[in-house]
């Protein structure tokens, strides 16, 4: 089982990266927080959760131990698979998720894409007893965008990213149309701004 990977960042997108380790490229699915924390190139190190299915072996990469542990706990809850767990971690930091669960904040949790009221209630019920295991794990550095080259058409990439994160295309387009985007704005900056609007 792969638990950690260190190597050259061969490819980076909002939902996965490819890490070249000794000439072998490993594809890891990642949450947005990890995307923001990674550089655009160079050597990287990610904690890995190996998910084995009958038809596939999938790798999920995380910048912090707290995220990895929370991911493993989330997929242990009935009705929450790896894709939804990543989506949750992409929209709420581990610390805020812990706070929402302990406070029984159904409104905050049910506002996350893919999480309805029933799933939010199940999250609270099943996570409350397990939250303590994350208390001593370092949350890691705040994920901040790294400086890099802006894509040729960042708005198109951001729209695609928002759709991949579970938002409807019409809703995502509407938000992007209302935003004031400067010519030099990076994809990461636009995506962060869009997510803030959508979270209201």
7 vs 22: CA distance, rounded Å? 8
Where does 42-122 show beta strands of DSSP type E? 43-52, 57-62
Number of domains the chain contains: 3
Identify the domain boundary among 18, 37, 62.
62
159 vs 163: CA distance, rounded Å? 6
CATH of the domain at 28: 2.40.50.140
CATH of the domain at 118: 1.10.150.20
Residue 192 shares a structural domain with residue 169: yes
Predicted pLDDT at 8 = 95
Residue 161 reports pLDDT greater than 90: no
Residue 97 shares a structural domain with residue 38: no
Residue 10 reports pLDDT greater than 90: yes
Is 27 within the bounds of a domain?
yes
Identify the domain boundary among 19, 39, 62.
62
Identify the domain boundary among 40, 62, 84.
62
Residue 58 shares a structural domain with residue 70: no
Give residues with Cβ within 8 angstroms of 48, minimum separation 6.
2, 3, 4, 5, 28, 59, 60, 61, 62, 68
Q: What is the pLDDT of residues 83-119, one digit of tens each?
A: 999 999 998 888 888 888 888 888 888 888 888 888 8
Residue 161 shares a structural domain with residue 125: no
Give the domain extent around 42: 4-62
Place 144 in a pLDDT band, splitting at 50, 70 and 90.
very low
Is 108 within the bounds of a domain?
yes
Q: What is the mean pLDDT of residues 26-32?
A: 94
Q: What is the mean pLDDT of residues 60-69?
A: 92
Residue 108 shares a structural domain with residue 130: yes
Residue 191 shares a structural domain with residue 165: yes
Q: What is the pLDDT of residues 36-64, one digit of tens each?
A: 999 989 999 999 999 988 888 899 999 99
Residue 166 reports pLDDT greater than 90: no
Is 148 within the bounds of a domain?
no
Q: What is the mean pLDDT of residues 152-181?
A: 76
Report if pTM > 0.85: no
Residue 129 shares a structural domain with residue 173: no
13 vs 151: CA distance, rounded Å? 11
């Amino acid at each position: 089982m792969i638990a950690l990977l260190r190597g050259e960042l061969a490819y980076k997108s909002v939902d996965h990266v490819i890490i070249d380790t000794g000439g072998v490229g490993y594809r890891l699915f990642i949450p947005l927080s990890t995307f923001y924390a990674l550089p655009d190139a160079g050597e990287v190190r990610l904690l890995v959760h190996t998910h084995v299915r009958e038809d596939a072996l999938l790798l999920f990469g995380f910048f912090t131990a707290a995220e990895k542990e929370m991911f493993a706990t989330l997929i242990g809850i009935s009705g929450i698979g790896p894709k939804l767990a990543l989506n949750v971690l992409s929209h709420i930091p581990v610390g805020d998720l812990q706070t929402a669960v302990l406070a029984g904040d159904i409104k905050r949790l049910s506002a996350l894409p893919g999480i309805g009221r029933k799933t939010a209630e199940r999250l609270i019920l099943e996570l409350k007893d397990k939250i303590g295991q994350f208390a001593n794990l370092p949350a890691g550095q705040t994920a901040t965008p790294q400086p890099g080259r802006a894509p040729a058409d960042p708005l198109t990439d951001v729209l695609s990213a928002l759709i991949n994160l579970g938002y409807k295309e019409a809703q995502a387009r509407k938000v992007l149309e209302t935003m004031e985007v400067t010519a030099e704005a990076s994809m990461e900056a636009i995506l962060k701004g869009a997510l803030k609007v959508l979270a209201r």
